[in-house]
């Protein structure tokens, strides 16, 4: 069938308009300084690696993220995904956020474009890194079937996160499991049945840059083969409040996983003056 982005976006326009309204409101709000000069060290999921660190964003800070991802599978299919995200530091140790991915898929001559779900999540760091224990956090995501490319059913994912520092280097371990029956997954930001991985990063303070490499195994559903993939990426602080990231991923197993994935994104930290005094 013919690929008409204008028609597809019109069909999902209620979701896109809602997101854009929230994003514009946040970005146009009166900004006040936030301590984001080393925000490039704050790893978020898929920015640019799947694995994230155990630390939330600063209390009362907002962060708007605009990542784009392109992937090609071993059968020749491909997908574009734009996944705007808004996070808020609700406590000193926790954050809340949501994503509204928009995806474009191609399989042979068939092409589709549309909203690919709504994801609401929270992360809480219950242990700051010390002399013995690493930093530990737990994250919960709820994925709702919003949009034509969202798949079916509401899914709940619980993730455990650990981060340990060694000078300029850090080691991260993540593991996640999704509760609910196997259903068709969304075309972007899918809730994998389970996945686990390890990553290492290196900070270059003088260049405000972080380099990360990871390897992980995942299974989309109980009937799907286990994928083993690897990726590398970097995050660079453009200015005190803006971070640029780029990464590339590749499958390590011949029979499962994407041929490759490329991700590029920007994030912007800001605050709203009226919220800074809450909870003091």
Domain ranges of the chain: 5-275
User: What pLDDT, on a 0 to 100 scale, did the predictor assign at position 180?
Assistant: 84
User: What pLDDT, on a 0 to 100 scale, did the predictor assign at position 3?
Assistant: 38
Give me the numbers of helices (H) and strands (E) for the chain, helices first please.
2, 15
pTM of the model: 0.84
Give dist(CA 263, CA 69) in Å, integer: 4
User: What pLDDT, on a 0 to 100 scale, did the predictor assign at position 1?
Assistant: 40
Any bridge partners for residue 112, and if so which? 105
User: What pLDDT, on a 0 to 100 scale, did the predictor assign at position 136?
Assistant: 98
Which residues of the chain have a pLDDT value below 70? 1-36, 277-280
User: What pLDDT, on a 0 to 100 scale, did the predictor assign at position 274?
Assistant: 77
- Matching CATH number, 5-275, of 3.40.50.12280, 3.20.20.140, 1.10.3720.10, 2.40.160.40: 2.40.160.40
Give dist(CA 83, CA 86) in Å, integer: 10
User: What pLDDT, on a 0 to 100 scale, did the predictor assign at position 16?
Assistant: 40
User: Going by DSSP bridges, is the β-strand pair 102-107/227-239 parallel, antiparallel, or unpaired?
Assistant: unpaired
């Amino acid at each position: 069938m013919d690929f008409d982005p204008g028609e597809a976006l019109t069909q999902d326009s209620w979701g896109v308009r809602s997101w854009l309204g929230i994003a514009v409101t946040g970005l146009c709000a009166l900004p006040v300084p936030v301590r984001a000069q080393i925000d490039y060290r704050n790893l978020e999921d898929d920015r640019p690696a799947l694995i994230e660190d155990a630390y939330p964003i600063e209390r009362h800070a907002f962060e708007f993220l605009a990542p784009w991802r392109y992937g090609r599978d071993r059968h020749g299919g491909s997908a574009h995904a734009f996944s705007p995200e808004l996070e808020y530091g609700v406590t000193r140790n926790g954050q809340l956020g949501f994503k509204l991915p928009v995806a474009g898929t191609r399989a042979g001559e068939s092409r589709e474009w549309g909203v690919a779900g709504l994801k609401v999540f929270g992360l809480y760091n219950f242990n700051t890194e010390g002399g013995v224990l690493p930093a530990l956090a737990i994250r919960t995501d709820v994925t709702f079937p919003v949009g034509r490319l969202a798949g079916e059913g509401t899914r709940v994912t619980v993730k455990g996160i650990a981060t340990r520092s060694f000078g300029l280097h850090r080691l991260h371990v993540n593991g996640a499991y999704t509760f609910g029956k196997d259903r068709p997954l969304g075309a972007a930001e899918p809730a994998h049945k389970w996945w686990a991985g390890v990553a290492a990063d290196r900070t270059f303070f003088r260049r405000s840059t972080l380099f990360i490499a990871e390897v992980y195994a995942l299974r989309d559903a109980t009937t799907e083969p286990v994928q083993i993939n690897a990726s590398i990426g970097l995050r660079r602080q453009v200015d005190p409040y803006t971070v640029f990231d780029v990464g590339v991923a590749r499958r390590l197993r011949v029979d499962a996983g994407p041929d490759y994935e490329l991700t590029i994104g920007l994030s912007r930290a800001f605050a709203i003056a009226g919220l800074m005094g809450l909870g003091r």
